[in-house]
Chains A and B, each alone.
Chain A
């Protein structure tokens, strides 16, 4: 699967799941957790979404706030396990 395709799927999920203000722009490199868009609690749904979608298992120690801090970083993490 192409990086770009995964990027778009993850970005769409992040916007639908976490962005409540229509004016807020989120790009591939917008800081999600350090930028206050995703709180570290809410990461779990993103992790479970990725695991279900790509039939992978991301170990908890790899699912750090740093690794989930942007769409680009998330895609890099997902690619490790596909």
Chain B
């Protein structure tokens, strides 16, 4: 037997180490559609409990929207379940190209190519368009999928301090001799909820002849006046060379992603990006759902407006209650607890009160920056937010952290 007891013991020991370090990730089983109100089985085998979901990427509340579900049903009926092929053999339907055209229009770019996920888009794009004569300069807090894409690419890689434009400029000068330069950032940073300074970045890219890449996974659909993304917020639509984004969050929340941007870059992805070439694309049922999402968002800004109001209400409530928050104005609102155990205990107590919000700690966030990352949705109504706030205050009182500063919390619980 190839899988010997020795091999089994080796893995068991590694898993035990993860468990003992308090880092074992456990899934919670949700027995309902994704929404503000969910039914959760946690831990595994426990009875199902109703909870308010405060940590989904369901920013626009479209994951289970009746019109999206109906469109998906219709797509299933009219285009079938699967394609059983990659795109360039016989895996492309008319609706795949239609979605690419609609995303191009929505993001204000030149062309778009779909990927099975945004993780795949980020993994495939750099290798497809850069060589070892080029340089990628990324913000130090970009998403893990971008890091993986960078690893797969032969261009050299450098970083700049998070949102530090002077440091970015130094790096553009240091690498001025490279053939192509790409500046890489998230539009909205998923752990802190802050936005990249895209207007300044676009100016620097113009000055130093560099391309600009942004991952809009936590932005598409709701950031900017009409929800087009961070590039709309900063008034630089048309100046971003490469945008990647996901359909797995605000845009229906199912799966799939894309690269959108300059026509030639999209074409290079179609010729060379390996996750596009060697994997089936998004299933027709999902494509049909996303098309409906884009129709809803293009007709009205009602949902992103509600999200903006909900976010302001939630931030104000937490601030007045005396929690330490990360600054920002996006629906990602991190409640800072600093200590990993405190974050886990806090999350468990919230769940006991019917609020589902997960604690994040090292290595997902830097040591000493443990937190509960709350994420607001247009699917929340004020009564959801009030109930959640009430629970946060109760648990905050229990641990005596309300009105306390960062240093006071660290002094009591450690970092």
At the interface, yes or no: B294 with Cβ under 8 Å from chain A? no
Chain A hits for B157, CB < 8 A: 41, 44
Chain B hits for A49, CB < 8 A: 174
At the interface, yes or no: A2 with Cβ under 8 Å from chain B? no
Closest Cβ–Cβ distance, residue A25 to chain B (whole Å): 16
Chain B hits for A39, CB < 8 A: 159
Closest Cβ–Cβ distance, residue B208 to chain A (whole Å): 16
Contact (Cβ within 8 A) A45 B159: yes
Chain A hits for B174, CB < 8 A: 45, 48-49, 52
Main secondary structure of the interface of B (DSSP, over half): mixed
A44 to B174, CA, bound (A): 11
Closest Cβ–Cβ distance, residue B226 to chain A (whole Å): 36
A:42-78 near B, CB below 8 Å: 42, 44-45, 48-49, 52
At the interface, yes or no: B158 with Cβ under 8 Å from chain A? yes
Q: Which residue of A is nearest B171, CB measured? A: A45
Q: Footprint of A on B, CB under 8 Å? A: 140, 147, 150, 156-159, 161, 171, 174-175
Q: Which residue of A is nearest B368, CB measured? A: A21
Interface size class of A (residues with CB under 8 A): under 10
Chain B hits for A48, CB < 8 A: 158, 174-175
Closest Cβ–Cβ distance, residue B387 to chain A (whole Å): 37
Q: Which residue of A is nearest B151, CB measured? A: A41
A48 to B176, CA, bound (A): 12
Chain A hits for B156, CB < 8 A: 44
Closest Cβ–Cβ distance, residue A62 to chain B (whole Å): 16
Q: Which residue of B is nearest A42, CB measured? A: B159
Among A20, A42, A52, contact of B158 (Cβ-Cβ < 8 Å): A42
Among B147, B161, B175, contact of A20 (Cβ-Cβ < 8 Å): B161
Chain B hits for A41, CB < 8 A: 147, 150, 157-159
A8 to B53, CA, bound (A): 52
Closest Cβ–Cβ distance, residue B123 to chain A (whole Å): 16
- What is the 8 Å Cβ interface bit string for chain A, positions 10-51, against chain B (1 contact, 0 not)? 000000000010000000000000000001011011001100
Chain A hits for B150, CB < 8 A: 41
12 of the cross-chain contacts (CB-CB < 8 Å) are A20-B161, A39-B159, A41-B147, A41-B157, A41-B158, A42-B158, A42-B159, A44-B157, A44-B158, A48-B174, A48-B175, A49-B174
Chain A hits for B175, CB < 8 A: 48
A52 to B156, CA, bound (A): 16
Chain A hits for B161, CB < 8 A: 20
Closest Cβ–Cβ distance, residue B415 to chain A (whole Å): 11
A32 to B171, CA, bound (A): 20
A42 to B158, CA, bound (A): 6
